[in-house]
Structure 1
Amino acid sequence: MSIPSRIAVALLLVAGGSYAWSASAADDASAGFSRCMDAGGGVTARMLDCIGTETRLQDARLNAEYRRTLAAVSPGQQTRLRAAQRVWIQYRDANCRFRADPDGGTLASVAAAECVRTMTTERASELAQLRPQT
């Protein structure tokens, strides 16, 4: 990660405990995400574009992992997974909306977007790990 990206992450942390790149979410991010963030040079609009693009990729991954996991578990587990996923989506959305503090300036919008990206990436990985190993 370049110096501008590291500065942006540090600013996110200083801006009120906002979400920053976690190790697992960074590991599962697409190859282009770090390059995009590095090229953005810490400019808010560019960071939001990078995060948005990556979130769309990770959301597609999340949906694919959810479908694969749903197909791999018993009918009883399917019911529980559907319920858990619905609640997880509500939690993610509420948790990340909280980070979009209107008094936090433009950095709050980056923190909120990064929260959605990170949580979505982590959940996609978690769903893949929940599948029974064959």
Structure 2
Amino acid sequence: MSKLILKPFIVIVLLTMNINANQYDKCIKEGGFYRDCMRYERDRQDKLLNINYKKAMNRLKGERREQLREIQRLWIKYTNAKCSFYYHKHSGSGGLDEAIFCEMQEATKRALELSEIY
């Protein structure tokens, strides 16, 4: 990927991470339990992901639309497998936190990726 294309993408990712960090920090400062704050942010990003997916699907036609549908299905399988890896019967509550953080992180990245399609 050329540096010219990569630079704006990096800026967008950093801005998105900063916005997410600010909302997560705000939740914590307002007395929220960190796990609840992560769940809230994960759910917020998941909603944004679904909005961006629908917009992308409405824009694409034919084969490209079917490709995106298949990619999204594979992404869901991958994310479920990856994030469930962190939480297992021997991981304790720390594993649950890692799994929720993984879901939050993956949803944030995917929402951004989908926003660039339409």
Matched residue, 1:111: 98
**Alignment CA distance shift 1:108-1:40 (3 Å):** farther
- Paired AA for residue 112 in structure 2: S
Are 1:71 and 2:62 matched, yes or no? no
- Quote how far apart the aligned CAs of 1:37 are: 3.5
Match of 2:69 among 53, 58, 82: 82
Question: Does the 8 Å contact 1:99/1:108 carry over to 2?
Answer: yes
Are 1:32 and 2:23 matched, yes or no? yes
Alignment of 1:1-134 (within 5 A): 26-27=17-18, 29=20, 31-38=22-29, 46-131=33-118
Offset from partner CA, 1:87-115 (integer Å, 9 cap, x none): 10011011000011332321111000000
**Alignment CA distance shift 1:88-1:28 (3 Å):** farther
Deviates more, 1:32-41 or 1:66-75: 32-41
Taking structure 2 as the reference length, the TM-score comes to 0.77
Number of paired residues? 106
- Paired AA for residue 91 in structure 2: G
Matched residue, 1:15: none
Coordinate RMSD, CA, aligned: 2.3
- Quote how far apart the aligned CAs of 1:35 are: 1.7
Any stretches of 5+ residues in structure 2 without a counterpart?
Answer: 1-12
Any stretches of 5+ residues in structure 1 without a counterpart?
Answer: 1-21
Question: Does the 8 Å contact 1:28/1:121 carry over to 2?
Answer: no
Question: Does the 8 Å contact 1:25/1:118 carry over to 2?
Answer: no
Taking structure 1 as the reference length, the TM-score comes to 0.69
